[in-house]
Amino acid sequence: MSKEPGPTLGCSVILRRYLPGDSPLIGTTLDKYEVLQKVGEGGMATVYRGRHTTLDRDVAIKVLHPHLSSSTRNRKRFAREARAIEHLRHSNILEIFDYSGTDCSDCYIITEFVDGETLTSVMDRVGRMPSEVVAQIGMQLCEALSYAHTSGILHRDLKPDNVMVRADGRVKLMDFGIARFLDESQVTMTGALVGSPAFMSPEQAREEDLDRRSDLFSLGTLLFYLVTGHLPFSGSNPSVILKNIIEGNRPDPVELAPSMSATLSDVIERLLAPSRNDRFNTANDTLTALAAANHEVGIADGDSEWAVSRYLAEPETYTEDLETMLASVLVERGKNMMESGDHLAALRLYNRVLSIDDENTEVLAVVQGLHQQGSENKRRSTGIWLALGVLAMIALGIGVVVWSGTRPEPEVPVVTVQPEPVSMVEPIALPQSVEPVVEADTEQVVVVPTPNPANLPVVSAAPTPQPVVVQPEPALPEPEPLPSAPGYVTINSGNFSAYVYEDGEKLGFTRQLDPFELSPGVHRLTLRSTATEEREVEVAIGSGEMLRVAVELMPRPGSVFIPPAYPANCRASRNHEDLGTVGALDRVVSVPRPDRRTIVVLDCGDEGVFSHTFETMRQLNESFPPP
């Protein structure tokens, strides 16, 4: 038996009794839509679940706050935007059924009702998501963006709050086309930007003309957040965040999620390029790259075992099963890459396995084998260099003596001594050969002539033959030092990651997928990150060595910006510790350990008490939500 509809409110008085936190519309009827219950509220609007009274179907009723709908200019613009996007019909885009029109003093829109939760709600519940789930969500968003871009529509406000996921895993992109309208309403009377600007593109932050690549940048920010649990661009206030977006100051996603897919990391890096010319050109190109991230681990499109719906239903079991599957698939793919000679690509896969299971015996055995192979290659290289040196000396005519145990008797050439002729005396025939006498403990060979027989006359005019001294062979030159093979280092830094520098040169990242090279020897490395305190570490590595180093990084203190909507006399507390008034704090609440759960409470007296919890592994340095 259907419920009798409540009183119908004219569009001119819909929000006259609305106050933040109240729900004056429940039980009333807007035109032909019965308001059943409040399902959500944000800085721009309140959302109700309703029912079409004649079609008997559930709908969502989004009622904009009075300060947004009070302007005639805004109402006309809102109507124009609604007409522009009402024709969008796509399975990944929230469908618009109706809107209030321009004659009403208050604005509302009627959309399909999605039985699910926003990505913000999902992240609050499960924390960061596996790469394979993030890729599937990204692919569905690419489908929605591609359809809208082909229709000439930009979203301009892509963020977790504007994406819903149904229980069956279907992703719905919401608030298409109204972002321009909402952007103009996000500036307060003092000119302060309300809400987080962290999903803006650089060109949007510079107030330049936007194109489809601007939406793709916001998509990259969203994917970064889903896979790491952190926003790529942070700061103590919106101005700092916008500056970091424009300059591209952010960590690598692998720093924060070392177990993520290397291919997904590559996609995110390209989407977040500061210059739009360096990004993917279309959403379809991005979709293809995201699909490749899952195909490389054997997950096909529509695979029910690894579907988003299963993850939403049982995230812990899904993650455990996925990691078990990845360990097997990645090890096998790594072996194939090793056999084909692509060692670095194999190391990327092996390092992901070790990030999931740092005691994986199969991968550790492969890495140890690489080390032993490097040592064997070094010994072979030594023999080759010595052989080449011997051949070179032989080619130059240099005698080479190879010693083995005792020194062999040297071969002595035959020496013929011709005496000077003596006048009027017959020449005396001297012996044609001599017996060598080898002096002990010397390398000189002295040739002594045989004594003259007694029956031969002595001729004084003939000079006495002098001993012939044969000079020893010249010493062999020292061999040139053998070339040494580089070593490979991976630094595991626990929950945090940082850039690795040596003498000002960036070498790589801690807990990365790609090990970085170091020459053999002792290196003093500096670890730097916007999220952690600077740390120095000394690393000693040998030729061809594969080295893993464990380093603990401490997070930098974070902060929470208090928007101007809260009076300066509100008292702020952090984890039940009173900090003073908002004005005395310059509207910034410090967070000594942003990696831990932090509760910030604002006590504004008669205007109310406002509380917000900043969870571990969630975005840091964000603004306190507006009242």
For 13-27, give the DSSP string.
GTTTT--TT--TTTT
Question: Quick one: average pLDDT of 226-242?
Answer: 88
At residue 475 the predicted structure's pLDDT band, cuts being 50, 70 and 90, is low
353 within domain boundaries: no
Does residue 595 have a pLDDT over 80?
no
The domain boundary, picked from 77, 112, 147, lies at 112
Q: What is the pLDDT of residue 142?
A: 97
Do 173 and 285 belong together in one domain? yes
Does residue 285 have a pLDDT over 80?
yes
Does residue 383 have a pLDDT over 70?
no
**Which of 255-264, 330-339, 377-386 has the least mean pLDDT?**
377-386
At residue 461 the predicted structure's pLDDT band, cuts being 50, 70 and 90, is low
**Which of 231-235, 281-285, 312-316 has the least mean pLDDT?**
231-235
Q: Which residue has the higher pLDDT, 515 or 478?
A: 515
413 within domain boundaries: no
Query: What are residue 172's DSSP bridge partners?
Result: 164
Digit-coded pLDDT (tens) for 333-355: 888 888 888 877 888 888 888 88
412 within domain boundaries: no
488 within domain boundaries: yes
Give 334's contacts (C-beta < 8 A, 6+ positions apart): 346, 347, 349, 350, 353, 363, 366
Q: Which residue has the higher pLDDT, 509 or 321?
A: 321
| Overall residue count recorded for the chain in this entry | 627
Do 507 and 491 belong together in one domain? yes
Q: What is the pLDDT of residue 428?
A: 46
CATH code of residue 491:
2.60.40
* DSSP result, 544-571: T-EEEEE----BPPEEEE--TTS-TT-E
CATH code of residue 28:
3.30.200.20
Grouping H, G, I as helix, E, B as strand and the rest as coil, residue 366 is helix
106 within domain boundaries: yes
Do 589 and 572 belong together in one domain? yes
Our CA angle for 597, 603, 608, nearest 5°, is: 115
Distance CA 591, CA 600 (A): 9
At residue 617 the predicted structure's pLDDT band, cuts being 50, 70 and 90, is very low
Query: What are residue 163's DSSP bridge partners?
Result: 173
At residue 580 the predicted structure's pLDDT band, cuts being 50, 70 and 90, is very high
The domain boundary, picked from 499, 528, 550, lies at 550
Q: What is the pLDDT of residue 191?
A: 35
Query: What are residue 589's DSSP bridge partners?
Result: 560
Do 302 and 369 belong together in one domain? no
Do 370 and 309 belong together in one domain? no
* Share above pLDDT 90 across residues of the chain, in percent, rounded to a whole number: 29
**Which of 141-155, 366-380, 576-590 has the least mean pLDDT?**
366-380
Q: Which long-range contacts (CB under 8 A, 24 or more apart) does 267-273 make?
A: 267/138, 267/220, 267/223, 267/293, 268/220, 268/223, 268/224, 268/227, 270/220, 271/216, 271/217, 271/219, 271/220, 271/223, 272/217, 272/220, 272/221, 272/224, 272/232, 272/248, 273/217, 273/248
Do 299 and 212 belong together in one domain? yes
Question: Quick one: average pLDDT of 528-535?
Answer: 78
Do 540 and 567 belong together in one domain? no
431 within domain boundaries: no
Distance CA 175, CA 42 (A): 13
Do 194 and 57 belong together in one domain? no
Q: What is the pLDDT of residue 43?
A: 62
Do 540 and 506 belong together in one domain? yes
Grouping H, G, I as helix, E, B as strand and the rest as coil, residue 99 is strand
451 within domain boundaries: no
Question: Quick one: average pLDDT of 170-178?
Answer: 81
93 within domain boundaries: yes
Highest mean pLDDT among 177-186, 322-331, 346-355 belongs to: 322-331
Q: What is the pLDDT of residue 15?
A: 36
If you compute the radius of gyration of the chain from its CA atoms, what whole number of angstroms results?
Answer: 40
Domain count for the chain, please give it: 4
Do 193 and 229 belong together in one domain? yes
Do 213 and 262 belong together in one domain? yes
Distance CA 155, CA 182 (A): 11
**Which of 113-122, 256-265, 421-430, 599-608 has the least mean pLDDT?**
421-430
* Share above pLDDT 70 across residues of the chain, in percent, rounded to a whole number: 70
Q: At residue 329, what is the residue type?
A: V
Q: Which residue has the higher pLDDT, 142 or 442?
A: 142
At residue 393 the predicted structure's pLDDT band, cuts being 50, 70 and 90, is very low
The domain boundary, picked from 78, 95, 112, lies at 112
**Which of 91-105, 398-412, 436-450, 517-531 has the least mean pLDDT?**
398-412
Q: What are the counts of helices (DSSP H) followed by strands (DSSP E) for the chain?
A: 15, 26
Q: What is the pLDDT of residue 307?
A: 94
CATH code of residue 128:
1.10.510.10
At residue 530 the predicted structure's pLDDT band, cuts being 50, 70 and 90, is low
**Which of 85-99, 102-116, 314-328, 447-461 has the least mean pLDDT?**
447-461
SS (H, E, C) 106-131: CCEEEEECCCEEEHHHHHHHHCCCCH
Does residue 558 have a pLDDT over 60?
yes
Task: Please choose, from the candidates 11, 528, 461, the residue with its C-alpha nearest in 3D space to the C-alpha of residue 249.
Answer: 528
At residue 182 the predicted structure's pLDDT band, cuts being 50, 70 and 90, is very low
Q: Which residue has the higher pLDDT, 302 or 292?
A: 292
Q: Which long-range contacts (CB under 8 A, 24 or more apart) does 78-83 make?
A: 78/107, 78/178, 78/181, 81/177, 81/178, 81/180, 81/181, 82/109, 82/177, 82/178
At residue 214 the predicted structure's pLDDT band, cuts being 50, 70 and 90, is very high
Q: What is the pLDDT of residue 613?
A: 80
Structural contact between residues 41 and 131, judged by C-beta atoms closer than 8 angstroms? no
Q: What is the pLDDT of residue 176?
A: 74
Distance CA 254, CA 227 (A): 9
**Which of 63-67, 163-167, 350-354 has the least mean pLDDT?**
63-67
Domain that holds residue 511: 361-378+484-550
Does residue 544 have a pLDDT over 80?
no
Do 107 and 120 belong together in one domain? no
Give 437's contacts (C-beta < 8 A, 6+ positions apart): 446, 447, 448
